[in-house]
Amino acid sequence: MPNELKDLFQKIVAKFPLPKKKTSPPALLRPFVPSDFQPLPPGWNVKSPDFVGVAAGKSGTSWWYSLLLQHPRVVQNRLGRKELHYFDHFQYRGISEEQIKTYCQAFAAPENSICGEWSPNYLTHPFCMEYLARSAPNTKILILLRNPVDRMLSQMNFLSSHHLNSFNFNRDERYLYQLYTIYLNSCIHSYYTVGLKELLKYFPRSRILVLQYERCKVNPLEEIQKTYRFLEIDDRYQPANIDRPVNKMNYSIAPFTVEERRRVADFFAEEMRSTRDLFPEIDLSLWENA
């Protein structure tokens, strides 16, 4: 590696732990351990999660999780977080029985209640599906997908606005981070089929609910009640403020031009069809001009 490039790389790495505005969320820095839990309330039972959302980032998952938590039978996990990112940390090294027990401790709940989490990157993060299946083989899987074109732009905006400005990067370092992290990460997470195929290796279709963000926006009550039915809780419940945006961000990057959007849509066209082939409930007409 040339010395100039090596020096630049070392500067980037050195600056990562020095955020300007905020530190990284705890779930991203390490897997949780038993000492992170508050004492178990009397009458609560430790069990594996009743549901786990595994996709997809920037597709309305925070909105949908907030509607789940409104249901009187759904309780928050013991860490009080939507995204636990637990399985990310084990990478290719495998997961132990003790680590599986620790994961399940996060979902203790009162009798007749259900509990879960929603880590949107699980679907595309290698080995997460295997570790989830070992840890919670009977859990129900929630997936919320968005037009890959819009999802990609939304993630680029999020990473540019939220992550990039958290680091003390100079101009060259910002460019490298945008080019090799933000852009690639946003593209890769709009590829759904690799993760969906991996998911189907470990979970039967009967335990998987695939929703579309665009359909949820048009008919939120109908789609959240579908979700409640899938989780086997009362689907007559109507959450309050069902249309209220959650984690909505202004755009700090330019939207796609007509030509750029066409190019990106053409790039993802086969991917969209492959997604529909795996899960025919996907309506590609909702993704044509969304």
pLDDT at 9 over 50: no
The CA–CA distances, whole Å, from 255 to 49, 145, 162, 205, 258 equal 38, 20, 17, 36, 9
Q: Look at residue 36 in the predicted model and tell me its pLDDT.
A: 95
List the one residue out of 126, 135, 66, 115 whose CA is nearest residue 90: 126
Helix (H) or strand (E) holding 98: helix 97-105
Instruction: Count CB atoms within 10 A of the CB of residue 258.
Output: 7
**pLDDT tens digits along 34-70:** 999 989 989 899 999 999 999 999 999 999 999 999 9
The answer to which of 21-30, 89-98, 192-201 has the lowest mean pLDDT is 21-30
Q: What is d(CA 120, CA 169) in angstroms, rounded to the nearest whole number?
A: 27
Q: Give strand ranges (E) for 107-180.
A: 114-118, 140-145
Q: Look at residue 11 in the predicted model and tell me its pLDDT.
A: 52
The predicted model scores a pTM of 0.89
pLDDT band at 4 (very low <50, low <70, confident <90, very high): low
pLDDT band at 23 (very low <50, low <70, confident <90, very high): low
**pLDDT tens digits along 221-269:** 999 999 999 999 999 999 999 998 888 888 989 999 999 999 999 999 9
CB within 8 A of 258, min separation 6: which ones? none
Spacing of C-alpha 248 from chain mean position? 15
**pLDDT tens digits along 128-182:** 999 999 999 999 999 999 999 999 999 999 999 877 777 888 999 989 999 999 9
pLDDT at 290 over 70: no
